[in-house]
Chain A
Amino acid sequence: MSGTNYKYAPSLPEEFKCRVPLPGTVQALVNNGILRDQVEFDAGIKIVPGKDLGFVYNVPANCIAKESLQVISFRDSGNTSDISYQNSLVFGKDSESSMLLCTHTLSMDQFNTDEIVNIDIEEGATADIVVMQNEHNSSRHKVTFRVKVARKGNVRINVVTLHGAQLDNFFEVDLKGKEAKCELNGVYLVDGTQKINTEVRMNHLVPDCWSSQLFKGILDDKSVASFTGRILVAKDAQKTEAYQANHNLLVSSAAKAYAQPQLEIYADDVKCSHGATSGRLDENALFYMRSRGIGASEAKLLQQLAFAYDVLEKIDNDKLRQRLYDLVESRLRGEFSHCDNCSMNCC
Chain B
Amino acid sequence: MLEIKGLHASIGGKEILKGIDISVKEGEVHAIMGPNGSGKSTLSAVLAGRDTFDVTEGDVKYKGIDLLELEPEERARQGLFLGFQYPVEIPGVSNVNFMKTAINEQRKFRGLPPISAAEFLKLMREKMAVVEMDSSFSGRGVNVGFSGGEKKRNEIFQMAMLDPALAILDETDSGLDIDALRIVAAGVNKLKRADNAFIVITHYQRLLDYIIPDVVHVLYDGRIIKTAGKELALEVEERGYDWLIKG
A residues at B contact (CB < 8 Å)? 282, 284-285, 287-296, 298-299, 302-303, 305-307, 309-310
B222 within 8 A of A: no
Cβ-defined contact, B109 with A284, below 8 A: no
CB contact list, B99-142 vs A, under 8 A: 101-102, 105-106, 109, 141-142
Listed by A's residue number, 22 A-B pairs whose Cβ atoms lie within 8 Å are A287-B72, A287-B88, A288-B90, A288-B142, A289-B98, A289-B101, A290-B71, A290-B72, A290-B76, A291-B48, A291-B75, A291-B82, A292-B162, A293-B77, A293-B102, A293-B105, A293-B106, A298-B105, A302-B90, A302-B97, A302-B101, A306-B92
CA distance A292 to B143 in the complex (A): 14
User: Cα distance A319–B77 when bound, in Å?
Assistant: 34
CB distance from B63 to the nearest CB of A (A): 16
| Interface flag for B172 (CB, 8 Å) | no
Total contacting residues, chain B, CB less than 8 A: 30
Alpha-carbon distance between A310 and B73 when the two chains are bound, in angstroms: 27
Query: B90 contacts A289, CB within 8 Å?
Result: yes
Can you name the residue of chain A whose Cβ is closest to the Cβ of B87? A288
Q: Which of B51-96 contact A (CB under 8 A)?
A: 71-73, 75-77, 81-82, 84, 87-93
A296 and B73 contact, Cβ closer than 8 Å, known pairs A287-B50, A302-B98, A302-B101: yes
Interface centre among A284, A291, A307 (most CB of B within 10 A): A291
Are the C-beta atoms of A298 and B101 separated by less than 8 Å? Answer: yes
Q: Which residues of B contact A306 (CB under 8 A)?
A: 90-93, 141
Other than the known A288-B90, A292-B73, A310-B92, what 19 A-B pairs have Cβ atoms closer than 8 Å?
A285-B88, A285-B89, A285-B90, A288-B87, A290-B73, A290-B76, A291-B72, A291-B73, A291-B76, A292-B76, A293-B76, A293-B109, A293-B162, A294-B73, A296-B73, A299-B73, A302-B97, A303-B93, A306-B141
B34 at the interface (CB under 8 A from A): no
